[in-house]
Amino acid sequence: MKIAVLGVGTTKFGELWEFSPRALVKEAVSQALADAKLDLAEIEALYVGNMLSGILGGQENLGALFAEELGLRCPAFKIEGACASGGLAVHSAILGILAGIYKTVLVVGIEKMTDHKPEQVSAALMGAGYEEERMAGITFPGLYAILARVYMEKYGITQKDLAAVSVKNHYHATLNPKAQFQFAVSAEQVLASPIIADPLRLLDCSPVSDGAAAIVLSSKFKTKGKTPVYITASAVATDSLSLGGRKDLTSLLATVRAAKKAYQIAGISPKNIDVAEVHDCFSIAEILACEDLGFFSRGKAAKEIAAGKTTLNKGKLVVNPSGGLKACGHPVGATGVKQIGEIVIQLRGEAGARQVKGAKVGLAHNVGGSGSVAVVHILKNE
């Protein structure tokens, strides 16, 4: 069975004050359906990826809510796995198709974060962590800062090395009209930005964003008028909820496990990947991801990234051409779906100024919490 990504759609990511979650979902879905040249009536199930609708907005039951909003009368589900909610929604949709129950499904990732104050969002995001972490008053930047410090002390990496990730992703985002930040930043600017959780600075951290992304998956319909793109692997793995339970703090074992399964299912190895969207919630996260996904060996990723090995038009494997979470934005539940959308556009050759030339195989990597759950998808064009 081949699962094609028939259509993709993404709203702009950013501080979208006038747009409600319903408006954002409708926008992303209408783009995806138009892109798929498919009628709404063909959709057999709806999967919604979202984390904070309940904690921040007091609204749960998003499956039913958006099914009605979109005019669908089909089975609908909310899937939650912290920042991996989008990727997990895609994975869940694929399971429905693989099981033969549905043939054509719609996956939507949506998050509305700017209706609330930063301190409230910060506290809400810690719902992805462990109770004792919340009691300690730590934030997500703080959890990744703890990881960053271990990595930096082990491999002699400096704050300047971390900054290279943000510099690269901001550069990519200047070529992405949907990105939240379409301006470049320099390493000096990153190092001059205020400390959020030592050693991570403001410009090491992905922003608070609103946005939605949607994809249409089908085992039945053929792609019309563009290069077909298929999802050839979808794998999920978990690790301890708390950092206290991790065996190695310089790696996210959940990523390693999910990636290993995905490569195995797809029958490929890391060196086959031409383009990847990885989970750079913080600069250190992209560095760990590149090693955990097998792109670089342990301890080497920071220097390789700083040397441009994953930069558009410089490196062979381009990482986060969309601008990543850092510069494209990170509406939590939308990210995992947007990542798939970006890879699809790349593999179709439709990415314009940020096209990774000749890309045939792509990877999307989505993480929840401080590494407690990871989802890896592999896509190929035909």
Partner 1 sequence: MSNITPVKIWRHQKKYAPFLGKEGKIISWTLIKAPPVGYEEEAPYPVVLVELQDKKRIIGQLVDWTKKDLKTGKKVKIVYRRVGKVDLEGVIHYGIKFRPV
* Binding-site ranges for partner 1 (CB under 8 A): 117-120, 122-124, 126, 130, 132-133, 135-139, 141-142, 145-147, 149-150, 153, 194-200, 242-245, 249
Single-letter residue type at 371: G
Question: Parallel, antiparallel, or unpaired for β 200-201 and 211-218?
Answer: unpaired
Cβ closest to partner 1, residue 57 vs residue 294: 57
- Active-site residue (options: 91, 172, 330, 377): 330
Please choose, from the candidates 279, 259, 338, the residue with its C-alpha nearest in 3D space to the C-alpha of residue 5: 338
Q: Among this protein's residues, is 365 annotated catalytic?
A: no
Q: How far is the CB of 139 from partner 1 (least distance, A)?
A: 5
Active site residue 290: no
CB of 101 to partner 1, least distance (A): 36
| Least distance (Å) between residue 141 CB and partner 1 | 7
Where do we find the tokens 């940020």? 354
Number of neighbouring beta carbons within 10 Å of residue 103: 17
- Residue owning tokens 């608070």: 208
**Alpha carbons 162 and 56: distance in angstroms, whole number:** 31
The b-or-e profile of 198-217 (16+ CB within 10 A means b, else e) is: eebbebbbbbbbbbbbbbbb
Q: Residue 148 or residue 229: which is nearer to partner 1 going by CB?
A: 148
CB of 37 to partner 1, least distance (A): 45
CB-CB neighbours of 352 under 10 Å: 10
Structure tokens belonging to residue 198:
């030592």
Q: Is the peptide bond before 207 cis (omega within 30 degrees of 0)?
A: no
Q: What angle do CA 238, 243, 246 make, to 5 degrees?
A: 60
Nearest to partner 1 of 34, 192 (CB atom)? 192
Toward partner 1, which CB reaches closer, 355 or 370? 370
Q: C-beta of 205: minimal distance to partner 1 in Å?
A: 9
DSSP collapsed to 3 states, 208-262 = CCEEEEEEEEECCCCCCCCCCEEEEEEEEEECCCCHHHCCCCCCCHHHHHHHHHH
Closest to 176 (Cα-Cα) out of 33, 55, 321: 321
Nearest by Cα to 277 from 253, 314, 312, 308: 312
Whole-number minimum distance, CB 111 to partner 1, in Å?
18
Least distance in Å: CB of 109 to partner 1? 24
Which residue number, 118 or 267, has a Cβ lying nearer to partner 1?
118
Closest approach of partner 1 to the CB of residue 300, in Å: 21
- Residues 77, 45: Cα–Cα separation, whole Å: 8
The answer to whether 276 touches 319, Cβ cutoff 8 Å, is yes
Residue closer to partner 1 (CB basis): 71 or 118: 118
User: What's the burial of 172, exposed, middle or buried (CB within 10 Å: 0-12/13-18/19+)?
Assistant: buried
Choose, from 83, 205, 281, 290, the residue flagged as catalytic: 83
Q: Which of 169, 130, 131 is nearest to 289 (CA)?
A: 169
Residues annotated as catalytic (active site), given as ranges? 83, 330
